[in-house]
Structure 1
Amino acid sequence: MTVKFATRLIMFLAIPAVLFLLPWWTLVYAPTQDTGPLFWLGSAAFLLGFLALPTSMYLGHGPAQSDFGSIVGDTLLGVLWVVFSWSVLGNVARLGLAVGGVGDPARSRIVATGVLAVSAALVAWGVFEARRVPRVRTVDVTIDGLGHAFDGLRLVVVTDTHFAALNRLRWSERVVEVVNAQRPDIACHAGDLADGSVAKRHPQVDPLGKVEAPLGRFYITGNHEYFGDAQGWIDHMASIGWQPLHNQHEVISRGDDRLVLAGIDDPTGAGLPGHGPDLPAALAGADPDVPVVLLAHQPKQITESAQAGVALQISGHTHGGQIWPFHYLVRLDQPVVAGLSRHGARTQLYTSRGTGFWGPQLRVFAPSEITVLVLRAPA
């Protein structure tokens, strides 16, 4: 066993141990005072969960790629994160109860009941939010230099659909219905299309071929494509009528006005020959006087975009944090978690919270979205 493998194994087990330990102490140890049948039953349940989580995650996301393992592991992970987060808050409340003179075991039982009730409600709500057809979010974006022929252009964005082990074919069909109801001029998918091979996931993806957008349908890779068969997904999207923007651009014309729509690969693709973001290549030959709308999966790619004078970058990747309060951790890696922001003198970034979900079928305080960006010419 190499040192590197041993380190990874320790981390693989240590993280679940930490996530399980605090909820066990909050929900089992403290309220039962370390005795009685509820203590032993609760402890056994937590031990079973601790063993099941890394095992199912390995089966689901390791070499076996088991759909059943993925569903079990992802669900456990999501529920555990909710319970862990509210256990932290519950123990803060415990201090308040102690100051108020509430003693144990009453204090611990009040906290345990509150944490369990809130966690159960949020898990139920989170499943509903994750599996529903996303709400439509419409945002006006003024683009410097945009010709008046493009004023009011409707660019509809879906991203982070993450078609995976749970079969969401009907959800995919309904998303397409909602997208078409927005009357898009341009449709974009900003990456993280699916988790898994084209052979396993294409039935869920294929309804996207029915999206109607007269000025084009465009797709870029996200980081998750590079965990599988990125080139396969690029080829498949092309086969159903979506134009991959693989470090390239298209010029869209209306009358005498023009707009450059460009796309770059996700940084994760840098290890694959012929892949990885290359903004200079994507913009090669583009008229510098024509505004550029860029599809780039990760918000942190905005640094290079701003330096290149891109007018608008469209990203996903963050899921808005997906399960509160994970957005605080996302913010450590990305400059923006969600919404429209300005970077530098002339560059704007729109970060979508995503249309689907990754892993746990939960969305807590981070609702999914189908985004309509209405481009506006300066007054």
Structure 2
Amino acid sequence: MAELESGTESPTDEPERIARPRRRLTFLGIVVAVLVLLFGMPWWALVVSGPQWPVPVFVAGTVVILGAALALPVSMILGHGPRTLDWAARVGDTTLGVAWVLFTWTVLGLVPRVVLAVAGVENPLRARIVAGFVVGVALVLVAWGVVEAMRVPRVRVTEVVLPRLGRGLDGTRVVLLADTHFGPIDRARWSARTAAAVDALEPDVVCHAGDIADGTVARRHAQAAPLGDIRARLARVYVTGNHEYFGEAQGWLDHMAELGWTPLHNRHVTVERGGDGLVLAGVDDATAGASGLPGHGASVTGALAGADPRLPVLLLAHQPQQVRAAAAAGVDLQVSGHTHGGQIWPFHYLVRVDQPTVQGLSRHGERTQLYTTRGAGFWGPPLRIFAPSEISLLILRAG
């Protein structure tokens, strides 16, 4: 059979060439549907259906909602696409957060609408009362959510009993950070205050469970710098999250090493105190294998290769769903982030579809426990609503 000429598509390329435009159209259709739902429902419920606003109010409400609906996709493309313009990301992320809160409470506003209807309150008064309630609640929650997102995380203390932990390590203080998400909003001062809060806990071990930043080391260098000031008696360890693989995962692994941390890139270290040992192991994020980066891909087996099987294991893995592999390997405790505790209520219900847990301590199998932190920072919208950030202090207890 004659070879295909150089530059000629093979027959196997034809289905892919046909499927590509279909996928783009499907994606575009989904985006349009989401925008129509996200902005269309508040517009219909608050502006059009029932309130009978004066023309200036109707026009102003329509312009604001329509303008936001058009600005969102443009700013998100400019901010999170190839150009990665931070100002555009800030606009898009904030618009998305406000729209989500307004949409959520517009849906919940159906309850007082029904109650008022049963009570005999007629339109336009009924619709105007509900509109005022929805907008008022949304404004309060957005303002509160910004404060919660920008504050130094609260310390959440949890005692974790590990039956295989030696008495020499009883009371070991493990501080868990995750999801710092240094990004378009410059949070260098927040980073310094958070690092100081970690230091004040006098940790034995500090873990960063990934999603350190959105962007390259060069762009987020100043925000990440305070991590180098954190001290720990036994070890400072770090693993990649899924967001590192949107930027430069290997760059962040190398930079954390430069800051004095130990990157656990499918490997482990052993710490000792009082004659007893604890294996600190770490794996790449669950998405690492699909990133195409040579040598990247989560491997619990690789992380534990050569570890003393008699010692308890604390495993860093960014996503809670990675606990399945951890339980199969007999890990004693996995620490994870990724979920943000839902970040903006009621988004945690969607997170729960993808992850086995959203926050806190849980058990998986006979031996393995999982602690999922709500994370220190935020991604996208600078809001945290009913999902406060945290610095997790885990006090390990011998069984």
TM-score, structure 1 normalization: 0.98
Matched, 1:74 2:62: no
Are 1:334 and 2:362 counterparts? no
Partner residue in 2 for 1:151: 170
SS in structure 1 of the partner of residue 270 of structure 2: strand
Q: C-alpha separation between the residues in 1 aligned to 2:150 and 2:127?
A: 34
- The answer to whether the 8 Å contact 1:26/1:91 transfers is no
1:377 equivalenced with 2:398 (yes/no): yes
Q: Classify the secondary structure of the residue corresponding to 1:2.
A: helix
Q: Distance in 1 between matches of 2:30 and 2:217?
A: 31
d(CA) in 1 for partners of 2:171, 2:29: 54
Which amino acid is 1:115 matched to? V
Query: Displacement, 1:173?
Result: 0.4
Q: CA deviation at 1:211?
A: 0.3
Provide the residue aligned with 1:91 in structure 2.
110
- 1:171 is aligned, of 178, 181, 190, to 190
Does residue 309 of structure 2 align to residue 275 of structure 1?
no
- 1:159–1:355 contact (8 Å) kept in structure 2: yes
| Residue type at the aligned position of 2:260 | G
Displacement of 1:255 in angstroms is 3.4
- Checking the alignment, whether the CA contact within 8 Å between 1:260 and 1:291 is kept in structure 2 is yes
**Count of aligned pairs between the two proteins:** 378
Secondary structure of residue in 1 paired with 2:98: helix
Q: 1:1-379 alignment to 2 at 5 Å?
A: 2-33=21-52, 36-271=55-290, 272=292, 273-378=294-399
Q: Distance in 2 between matches of 1:232 and 1:11?
A: 34
Letter in 1 for 2:332: A
Consecutive unaligned residues of structure 1, counting only runs of 5 or more, are none
* 3-state SS, counterpart of residue 287 of structure 2: helix
Matching residue's letter, 1:121: V
* Whole-Å separation in 1 of the counterparts to 2:100 and 2:301: 41
Distance between the aligned counterparts of 1:120 and 1:45, measured in 2? 15
SS of alignment partner, residue 267 of structure 1: coil
Deviations 1:311-349 (A, max 9, x none): 000000000000001001101111100000111111110
CA distance in 2, matches of 1:56, 1:266: 28
User: Which whole-Å CA distance do the structure 2 matches of 1:364 and 1:339 have between them?
Assistant: 17
Gaps of 5+ in 2: 1-19
Distance 2:340 2:52 in 1: 40
Q: Tell me which amino acid in the other structure corresponds to 1:362.
A: L
Deviations 1:272-301 (A, max 9, x none): 221111010001111222110000000111
Deviations 1:70-114 (A, max 9, x none): 000000000111111100100122112212221111111111000
Aligned equivalents of 2:183 and 2:31: distance in 1? 22
The one-character-per-residue Cα deviations of 1:230-262 (angstroms, maximum 9, x if unpaired) are 001111111110110000111111232111010
- Contact kept? 1:296, 1:314, Cα under 8 Å: yes
Q: Does the Cα contact within 8 Å between 1:30 and 1:105 map onto a contact in 2? A: no
CA contact (8 A) 2:287 2:297 kept: yes
Deviation digits for residues 130-160 of structure 1 (CA, Å, limit 9, x no counterpart)? 0000011111100011000000000011110
Cα distance in 1 between the residues matched to 2:87 and 2:53: 35
2:331–2:368: 8 Å Cα contact kept in structure 1?
Answer: yes
**Deviation of the 1:129 alpha carbon:** 0.3
Structure 1 counterpart of 2:342, which letter?
Answer: G
Q: Is the 8 A contact 1:318 1:338 kept in 2?
A: yes
Corresponding letter in the other structure for 1:186: V
Task: Tell whether the 8 Å contact from 1:32 to 1:38 is kept in structure 2 after alignment.
Answer: no
For the Cα contact (< 8 Å) 1:24–1:43, is it kept in 2?
A: yes
Equivalent-residue separation in structure 2 for 1:13 and 1:274 (angstroms): 38
SS of the aligned residue for 2:233 comes to coil
Secondary structure in 2 matching 1:53: helix
- Comparing 114-123 with 85-94, which one deviates more in the overlay? 85-94
**Cα distance in 2 for residues equivalent to 1:216 and 1:16:** 46
Instruction: Tell me whether 161-170 or 300-309 shows the greater mean CA deviation.
Output: 300-309
Report % sequence identity.
Answer: 59
SS at match of 2:394: strand
SS at match of 1:374: strand
Q: Distance in 2 between matches of 1:308 and 1:274?
A: 21
Paired with 1:45 and 1:123, the residues of 2 have a C-alpha distance of 17
